[in-house]
Amino acid sequence: MSIDADEAAAQIAARLRIEREGRDWTLEQLAARSGVSRAMISKIERCEASPTAAILVRLAGAFDLTLAGLLARGEEPRGPLVRAAGQPLWRDPASGYLRRQIFERPDHPVELVRIELPAGARVGFPASSYARIRQLVWVMKGRLVVEEAAQRRELAAGDCLAFGAPADTTFANESANACTYLVAISRN
């Protein structure tokens, strides 16, 4: 599945508007619930700005959804088999990280996501994005630094990290090579 940035932005914009309007929320109400400015939400909904992963996670959390749940809400229901060609891709405009949604279904408690984090990239997420999930990270290739609350952990290929209580978390690739890792998410 190829990545068309304009198509992805339009899908995200439509999804945000549908979720917001379906709850009868104003832009101000969504801004207050998510911590994302009203102006930024408006720009995203009008396809005038490409949201970063951190912004999308805040918005998804305001809707009581995971990022995958927000992105997948407008898609056709999936069966038990998800072919590689049907796994949605999204690139974070700020960090360049590439997110492949391997598996997500609303009726299943587990999500799988494959991330490719470019050399030198950092992506931070607020504690609120982990409020209703449990998460594991398994490094497939390269090196990954995870800063969770006050702890810094350096992971190499094959290492697996189980996350604790919700905390502000940063994923960083401090190496000169890309890092690939798998995220397994269980919804509480």
- The CATH number of whichever domain residue 162 belongs to comes to 2.60.120.10
In a domain, 79, yes or no: no
In a domain, 52, yes or no: yes
Of 42-51, 67-76, 137-146, highest mean pLDDT: 137-146
Domain co-membership, 45 together with 125: no
Which whole-number Å values give the CA distances from 74 to 10, 67, 71, in the listed order? 12, 13, 7
How many domains in the chain?
2
In this structure, the answer to whether residues 115 and 41 fall within a common structural domain is: no
Q: Which pLDDT score, from 0 to 100, does residue 1 have? A: 44
Asked whether residue 128 is assigned to any structural domain, the reply reads: yes
Q: Please give the average per-residue pLDDT across 12-33, as a whole number.
A: 93
Domain assignment of residue 78, yes or no: no
What range does the domain containing 37 cover?
A: 5-72
Q: Is the confidence at residue 136, as pLDDT, over 90?
A: yes
Helices (H), 35-167: 38-45, 53-62, 67-72
Asked if residue 173 and residue 89 are part of one domain, the reply reads yes
- What average pLDDT does the segment 166-177 reach? 96
Longest dimension (CA), the chain: 46
Instruction: Out of 50, 72, 94, pick the residue that ends a domain.
Output: 72
**Amino acid in position 26:** T
Q: Quick one: pLDDT at residue 2?
A: 46
Mean pLDDT value of segment 163-169? 93
What is the average per-residue pLDDT within 105-126?
93
Task: Tell me what pLDDT residue 78 has.
Answer: 65
Mean pLDDT of 27-37: 95
Question: Distance between CA atoms of 38 and 86, rounded to whole angstroms?
Answer: 33
What's the average model confidence in pLDDT over 119-131? 90
Note whether 174 and 124 are same-domain residues.
Answer: yes
| 175 in the same domain as 99 | yes
pTM for the structure as a whole: 0.82
Residue 19 located in a structural domain: yes
Instruction: Report how far residue 74's alpha carbon sits from residue 98's, in angstroms, rounded to the nearest whole number.
Output: 20
**Does one domain contain both 125 and 35?**
no
